[in-house]
A and B are shown apart, each in its own frame.
Chain A
Amino acid sequence: MKPRIWLPKIIFATLALLITAAMAAAQDMPLFRWENFTTANGLPDNHVFCVLVDGNRIWAGTENGLGLYENSAWKVFRPAPDQPQQSLAHQAVLSLALDRRTGDVWAGTMGGLSRISAGRIDTFTQLTSGLSNDIVYGVGVQGDFVWTATAAGASRLNTRTGQWALFNERNTPMYEIWTYSVSPADDKVYYAVWGGGVLEYDVKTEHWKDYNDPDGETELVLMKDQGLIHEITTSVSYVDKILWVATYFGASRYDGRYWHNFLQKDSGLPSNFLNQVKAIDANRAWFSTDKGLAYYDGTNWAVYRPALDTHKPEMLVRDSAGTLKKIPVQSTLAHNYVLGVDFQGDDIWVATAKGLSHGIRQKSSLETAHIVNQQKTTRKQ
């Protein structure tokens, strides 16, 4: 019977098509050659909390100083009481933001907020200024405003007038004041509130709105995609009017109407423990987890890390069908515990618990292979 003859062929063709598509997807995922920086080559400390790209300059916020990588050399900023104009608020730098209009860099530290402007450092603390708290987990620039996420709520500095505005449990729906991350844009400002979900500030109306567990009874969403995945949020990234949220229990994407949640079990995330999410656009984002760096292109996932068992370089690609594929790579991140990323064109810079990594984008797998062969040849020599 003809149908019986053709059915296997159709199934085979369909499978082949899917496999080909999956392979193509895998090949489209970004490939990197990784270069790592540690204290051995000038990084102020191996425990890197955050990284910021400023053109050809790379800022690395570490546990023991702020590093500036420029012209192949590191310059380190730390508290320097005898040089007030060069003194950072605190050596532990938790967050960084660039004012692209002025070139000023804002550093959130464990001891206040520092503004680094053409080499001069001015510091704001809870004692010397209107800053709400000296532990500044997050910082972001929105026009003339500098928004901070602190251990005691949100602060906003108007750099023109010097006025500070504080936002906390007294004037927002912030029932926890441990703010962890801020993502300001022209229309909205989002806060990740550790244990308090996400707060949204509408720039036009100056009103606050919170996003939490939809049923209000637990900390996590019970029905998938019903709302924010979990209230213990660690990072927000608002790009192209899409909100991405990282939590210690998965990630969320919100388009203003619908939530879409990502868990290790049903996505390419290598872990549900996320330190940061940073979006490229409405569909693509990078996730910093305790088990590697993950990239989501809207359909497929890629994970970059030293293998958790062997510590050998590893790149995993998961397609939309859930097929997992290992891509052979010769280099990888400094460590699988990833705290943050920033982009430099097609390249990526990654803050890890054991160094700073520079992912140099390879244009094709062929090129990767070429470099891999070159490295092998070099090693033999």
Chain B
Amino acid sequence: MTARAISGTSFRRMVNVVAIFVVALLAVAAKPAGRQSAAIAKERYLSPIEIASSPDGRLLYVVCQDSDEVRVVDVQSSKVVSKVAVGRMPRGIALSPDGRHLYVTNAWSDTVSVIDTADLKVVQTLPTGPEPSGVVSDSSNTTLYVANRLSGDVSVIDLKRGQETKRLLAGRGASYLALSPDGKWIYCTHIYPNAGAFRTQPNSEITVIDTERQMVVERKPLHNVAGVFHVALSSDGRLGVAAQLRPKNLIPLAHVEHGWAFGDSLTLFGDDVGGTVQIPIDELERYYALPWGVAIAPDKSKIFLTTAGSESVTVIDVPRLLKAVRARRQSFVNDLSASADYLLTRIPVGHNPRGVLLSQDGTRLYVANRLDDNVAVIDTATLQLTSTIDLGGPKNSDALRRGERLFYTADFAFQGQFGCANCHLDATIDGLQWDLEPDGFGKDIVDNRSLESLAGTEPFKWNGGNADMPTECGPRTEKFFFRSQSFNQQQLTDLVTFVYSLPYRPNRSRLPNGESTPAQERGKAIFERAKYKSGKPIPDANQCATCHSGPKYTNQKQVDVGTGKSTDRSPVIDVPQLSNVAYSAPYLHDGSARSLEEIWTVFNPKDMHGASNDLTKDELNDLIEYLKTL
């Protein structure tokens, strides 16, 4: 049959059928991953994120985040020789000083798996705080320190008794630890900024722990910094380096062309520099997004830094760097031309490079390519990628993996300035409030919202302006934020699939047995109440459960609850979902409420945001205890 033989009616029918088929295909592709996950999740990706090595350097221990295991690699053969199952979502690893044990943090199990390196078996499981991340043992291997991301503290664990003895206050989102070569100090960094006043520059810290006293003795302030990742010390202990982001969230993000989105940088500290010094790693016309893993060569000649959003390793010449730092009296972290003074090279590696490890002799650098399921090997003399160690895992990249790569890469943004993961650190939040719109400074400020379990929470944006995720991730992100090349339809579908796949993290406020505490029960009754304490009915619109209804605790509508500010174009706000709301402070559309309490104690004077003004302090506390369980 030829086209000519088809009648006009038949042709229109065929066009309609094809169009419906295409739309259906796109709709299926863009469906929330929860509906597709049965097909997608058959073979698990590995997602290597951290690396440790045996004392003799013959074995690599690679933490595989998505397969919940440690894969053991024989360096000589470049083969995986063993797999050790650990807890859920492993995130950090450390080798005991005697090399007999590996400590692996399980971020979603709130434990540390202790692995016997001789048998390669888990011999003990230690409890930690919520979302344990970085881990390090003291030099005598009597005490283990674990950075807990959700509680922003460091667990001090007595290894002999296998018990946590105390927690030390660190920065919000405490995540990475490094032990000084003399064993006296532990340095802790954190990925979310510490609490501060509304619309002020973010501040972070490097928390210094005295291992003898097991106490925090110093907090090195990091001004204008939010998002601090790995920290490393030189072998002589005189130079410390932390990888970090400098967000420019007080300026409208529409000024990407001026470089006003993020600065990628390092903080240097220690005797070599005196105090703390922040240095840029970006260049005037090219950014190296998400500086993450860092290592210093044993001879202190070079700093190696993974830039997780730019798929590369940045190599810095330390003597030139120190010379540049000493030559400049004033801060130069915003002078992107300065990096030319100390930059050696950029080495392309795989997708989303994260943890780095230098061999003991310093001749090789191992890089965990998280979204390629392999480890890159770099010759530190030639600064060339020499090989790649395949860790196994699925050979083909499906929509989830492709989407995750798109989420983490900064390639789509103008000059590679940033990607989705810059604001949604590890696919969560950044704890910041952004001035997104080009409507003047300080207008329409918006708080960063969680991405957990998003299906069924549409529309998106705080004003509900984006009806669906393809609109949110597509035109809004690519054109408005990135100011650069657009995603094609396949890419957009992949990205949407990944974002929709982001799960609900374990909720720590729920009791393990599924029951509720008395305070949570009382709070639930308040949340669901239809009458004031006086007995008078509460109007539907003022009942918590009216707007925060359904499985995600949102009715997906937009309402004015009296929280709009004079700087907002409209007081009508999209009803946010409440999944794991306890982890996403600050609150309200603009992040003006520093705590859940402030939503009602400060920002609900007219009782428009739920009937709360007849509650006692006890009852408000109960309500909050309930909200923490959602």
Residues of A within 8 A of B165 (CB): 101
Residues of A within 8 A of B624 (CB): 130
Q: Is the CB of A120 within 8 A of B621?
A: no
Residues of A within 8 A of B203 (CB): 85
Query: CB-nearest residue of chain B relative to A171?
Result: B618
Is B426 an interface position by the 8 A CB rule?
no
Is A163 an interface position by the 8 A CB rule?
yes
Which of A160-184 touch B at CB < 8 Å?
160-166, 168, 170-171
Residues of B within 8 A of A160 (CB): 129, 151, 167
CA distance A104 to B153 in the complex (A): 13
Residues of A within 8 A of B616 (CB): 170
Q: 1/0 per residue A13-50: CB within 8 Å of B?
A: 00000000000000000000000000000000000000
State the Cβ distance, A141 to closest chain B Cβ, in Å. Answer: 11
Q: Is the CB of A103 within 8 A of B213?
A: yes
Query: CB-nearest residue of chain A relative to B203?
Result: A85
Q: A101-B166, A127-B602 are in contact. Are A81 and B218 (CB under 8 A)?
A: no
State the Cβ distance, A156 to closest chain B Cβ, in Å. Answer: 11
Is A297 an interface position by the 8 A CB rule?
no
CA distance A148 to B194 in the complex (A): 24
What is the size, in residues, of chain B's interface with A at 8 Å between Cβ atoms? 39
CA distance A81 to B598 in the complex (A): 18
Residue of A84, A118, A120, A165 near B197 (CB, 8 A) is A84
Q: A117-B169, A160-B129 are in contact. Are A102 and B216 (CB under 8 A)?
A: yes
Is B168 an interface position by the 8 A CB rule?
yes
State the Cβ distance, B630 to closest chain A Cβ, in Å. Answer: 15
Is B215 an interface position by the 8 A CB rule?
yes
In this complex, the interface size class of chain A, counting residues with CB under 8 Å from chain B, is 20 to 34
Is B131 an interface position by the 8 A CB rule?
no
Is B85 an interface position by the 8 A CB rule?
no
Residues of B within 8 A of A115 (CB): 169
Is A221 an interface position by the 8 A CB rule?
no
Is B615 an interface position by the 8 A CB rule?
no
Q: A101-B166, A118-B219 are in contact. Are A128 and B617 (CB under 8 A)?
A: no
Q: Is the CB of A102 within 8 A of B618?
A: no
Residues of B within 8 A of A159 (CB): 167
Is B595 an interface position by the 8 A CB rule?
yes
Q: Apart from A103-B216, A118-B215, list 20 A-B contacts with CB within 8 A.
A: A81-B197, A84-B195, A84-B196, A84-B200, A101-B165, A102-B216, A117-B219, A118-B216, A118-B217, A118-B218, A118-B219, A122-B169, A128-B595, A128-B598, A130-B620, A144-B167, A160-B129, A160-B167, A163-B519, A164-B621
Residues of A within 8 A of B (CB): 81, 84-85, 101-104, 115, 117-120, 122, 126-130, 132-133, 144, 152, 159-166, 168, 170-171
Leading 4 A-B pairs by shortest Cβ distance? A103-B215, A127-B601, A118-B216, A130-B621
Return 5 A-B CB contacts under 8 Å, by A number. Answer: A84-B200, A102-B168, A126-B617, A127-B601, A128-B598
Residues of B within 8 A of A (CB): 129, 151, 165-169, 194-197, 200, 203, 205, 207-208, 213, 215-219, 221, 508-509, 519, 594-595, 597-598, 601-602, 616-618, 620-621, 624-625
